[in-house]
């Protein structure tokens, strides 16, 4: 990761400090994938080849480090989405493919650190990882909903449904247990999303 989590822009870290932060984030991801129970601050610092004191200087708690690692992964998807020149369902489906590819690399690590609180609650409270997910998916979801005839007033519900269907744990389950490829997973979940958001809109209209 060449500027993990956009830290240079957000904190003005020097290059040497940014390098240490990058090493810590990469070590965090590696250990969460291979040995989540052993991913202590000491173990992460050792793998990153920095002192524990240095690790705590940038990340006061292990939770801070986990959150920054999660953010650094989500930024990859956000930047890809924002740079896309596609539109409508093509945009949504293309970013979904990218997301599943990202989860193929980082999914096991992300599963270890996902918040127990609901997505919309975290978004409304301005939690950085929920906000960056919204930034990633707002245009793709809105344009896809528009193309399949679902009112954009259901955007928040669509975002919540996406977060549920494309959760790192569920994507990993489909890959590891069902033996599906990333392409197959993306295609199946995309169609499931379309059906889910259409069903949500219909059900919502009938109960209100």
Q: pLDDT tens digits, residue range 50-86? A: 999 999 988 998 888 988 888 888 999 999 999 999 9
DSSP 3-state of 127: coil
79 and 124 together in one domain: yes
Please report the pLDDT score of residue 3 as a whole number: 42
Q: Looking at the domain assignment, is residue 129 inside a domain?
A: yes
Please report the pLDDT score of residue 204 as a whole number: 87
Separation between Cα atoms, residue 138 and residue 59, nearest integer Å = 30
How many domains does one find in the chain?
2
30 and 122 together in one domain: no
Q: What is the 8-class DSSP label of residue 60?
A: S
CATH code, 10: 1.10.10
113 and 141 together in one domain: yes
Residues of the chain with pLDDT under 50: 1-10
114 and 152 together in one domain: yes
- Quick one: which of 35, 24, 30 has its CA closest to 57? 24
22 and 86 together in one domain: no
Q: Looking at the domain assignment, is residue 65 inside a domain?
A: no
Please report the pLDDT score of residue 13 as a whole number: 56
Separation between Cα atoms, residue 31 and residue 86, nearest integer Å = 36
DSSP 149-199: T--GGGHHHHHHHHHHHT-HHHHHHHHHTT---HHHHHHHHHHHHHHHHHH
143 and 77 together in one domain: yes
């Amino acid at each position: 990761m060449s500027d993990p989590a956009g830290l240079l822009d957000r904190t003005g870290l020097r290059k040497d400090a940014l390098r240490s932060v990058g090493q810590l984030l990469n070590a965090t991801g590696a250990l969460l994938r291979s040995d989540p129970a052993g991913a202590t601050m000491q173990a992460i610092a050792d793998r990153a080849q920095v002192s524990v004191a240095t690790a705590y200087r940038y990340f006061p708690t292990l939770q801070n480090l986990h959150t920054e690692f999660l953010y650094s992964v989500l930024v990859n998807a956000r930047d890809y989405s924002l740079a896309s020149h596609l539109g409508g369902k093509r945009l949504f489906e293309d970013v979904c493919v990218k997301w599943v590819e990202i989860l193929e690399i980082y999914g096991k690590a992300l599963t270890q650190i996902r918040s127990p609180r609901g997505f919309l609650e975290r978004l409304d409270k301005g939690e950085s990882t929920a906000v960056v997910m919204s930034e990633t998916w707002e245009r793709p979801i809105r344009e896809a909903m528009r193309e399949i005839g679902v009112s954009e007033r259901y955007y928040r519900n669509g975002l919540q449904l996406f977060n549920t269907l494309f959760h790192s744990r569920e994507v990993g389950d489909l890959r590891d247990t069902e033996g599906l490829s990333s392409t197959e997973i993306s295609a199946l979940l995309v169609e499931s999303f379309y059906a889910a958001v259409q069903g949500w809109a219909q059900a919502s209209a009938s109960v209100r």
